[in-house]
């Protein structure tokens, strides 16, 4: 039986009070509840405070480039589709630098869970506006307030028929843990946007600010496969902010389209070099 302690207990470099602590705690709880042993897991991250999360878990992980979380996560899933693969990113990492990768990962639909630490700011690089920063918010760079419109990641994902779309809050460990479990158990690309305060650089969207606004979606309120109603719900933001599962569909996953995986993970296949050698010989 897997326990939270199996994933280790490490010192962190996060600011005291950071929302990242809630995400780390909820993730450990979810993995233990699902009886996922560390050797079954692979966490892939990019750059940012969110990118440090896999460093604080005792399991397989890959820490790559800024915004490039999804390509290596997809490659790893193809190489060994028996692994449970999670991509971890921040709002700047996933929706800014990695926005194009997110769109095309939604199209491919690999069986990967994407956790986005959405604190509406670039924390590691000292407080620039990110794609999800609210208009009017003043940052260290935007002294007159942010002018650009705020990206709505849930509406974007639902519009592209993402296989699983949900949102949770780092200040509600129980809810976040349940959302992580649902995202992992769903077969296909699962996007979980996690509202997370940044205590150092975002003094608007605080724990108190979110706690006064978030409310849990009633899954009986509408069928989870109703794309139009999910899209309407994703537009709700301001005095009331819904959290929960917004949309689910059962599209075929990317791995199923690859015949080479039918006999098992690539890592167990015997390497055949004949065709490669023949190709190289053709250039000699």
More confident residue, 89 or 262: 89
H or E segment and range at residue 78: helix 70-79
Output the pTM of the full model. Answer: 0.94
Q: How far is CA 267 from CA 77, 127, 176, 211, 254, in A?
A: 11, 42, 33, 46, 18
H or E segment and range at residue 70: helix 70-79
For the segment 245-274, the average pLDDT, to the nearest whole number, is: 89
Return mean pLDDT, the chain: 94
Domains in the chain (CATH in brackets) are: 4-255 (3.40.50.970)
Residue 179's pLDDT band (boundaries 50, 70, 90)? very high
71: left (phi over 0), alpha (psi -120 to 50) or beta: alpha
Bridge partners (DSSP) of residue 191 are 114, 165
Give percent above pLDDT 70 in the chain.
100
Closest CA to 216 of 181, 171, 248: 171
Cβ–Cβ under 8 Å, residues 160 and 106: yes
Q: Identify the pLDDT of residue 268.
A: 84
Maximum distance among all Cα pairs of the chain, rounded to whole angstroms: 69
pLDDT at 262 > cutoff 90: no
For the segment 240-244, the average pLDDT, to the nearest whole number, is: 97
Q: Identify the pLDDT of residue 60.
A: 96
H or E segment and range at residue 247: strand 241-248
Distance CA 90, CA 125 (A): 12
Bridge partners (DSSP) of residue 61 are 43
**Which residue is listed with tokens 């390497």?**
271
Distance CA 138, CA 155 (A): 25
Enumerate residues 6+ apart whose C-beta is below 8 A from 224: 230, 245, 246, 247, 248
For the segment 142-159, the average pLDDT, to the nearest whole number, is: 95
Q: How do residues 47-70 score in pLDDT, each as one tens digit?
A: 999 999 999 999 999 999 999 999
Distance CA 261, CA 259 (A): 5
Distance CA 33, CA 232 (A): 32
The helix/strand/coil state of 253 is coil
Closest CA to 68 of 41, 43, 100: 100
pLDDT at 127 > cutoff 90: no
For the segment 89-118, the average pLDDT, to the nearest whole number, is: 96
103: exposed, middle or buried (Cβ count in 10 Å: 0-12, 13-18, 19+): middle
Per-residue 3-state assignment (H helix, E strand, C coil) for 213-244: CEEECCCCCCCCCCHHHHHHHHCCCCCCEEEE
Per the document, the length of the chain is: 284
């Amino acid at each position: 039986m897997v326990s939270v302690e199996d994933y280790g207990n490490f010192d962190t470099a996060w600011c005291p009070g950071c929302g990242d602590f809630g995400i780390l705690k909820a993730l450990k709880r979810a993995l233990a509840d699902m009886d996922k042993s560390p050797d079954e897991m692979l966490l892939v991250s990019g750059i940012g405070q969110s990118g440090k999360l896999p460093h604080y878990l005792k399991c397989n992980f890959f820490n790559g480039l800024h915004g490039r979380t999804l390509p290596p996560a997809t490659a790893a899933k193809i190489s060994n589709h028996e692994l449970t693969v999670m991509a971890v990113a921040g709002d700047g990492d996933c929706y800014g630098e990695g926005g194009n990768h997110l769109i095309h990962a939604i199209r491919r639909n690999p069986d990967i869970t994407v956790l986005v630490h959405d604190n509406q700011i670039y924390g590691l690089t000292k407080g620039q506006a990110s794609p999800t920063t609210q208009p009017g918010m003043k940052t260290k760079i935007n002294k007159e307030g942010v002018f650009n419109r705020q990206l709505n990641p849930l509406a974007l994902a639902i519009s592209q028929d993402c296989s699983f779309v949900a949102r949770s809050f780092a200040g509600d460990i129980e809810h976040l843990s349940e959302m992580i479990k649902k995202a992992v158990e769903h077969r296909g690309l699962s996007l979980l946007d996690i509202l997370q305060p940044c205590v150092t650089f975002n003094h608007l969207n605080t724990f108190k600010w979110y706690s006064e606004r978030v409310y849990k979606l009633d899954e009986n309120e509408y069928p989870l496969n109703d794309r139009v109603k999910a899209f309407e719900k994703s537009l709700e933001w301001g005095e009331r902010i819904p959290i929960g599962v917004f949309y689910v569909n059962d599209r075929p996953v990317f791995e199923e389209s690859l015949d080479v995986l039918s006999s098992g993970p690539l890592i167990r296949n015997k390497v055949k070099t004949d065709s490669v050698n023949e190709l190289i010989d053709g250039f000699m």
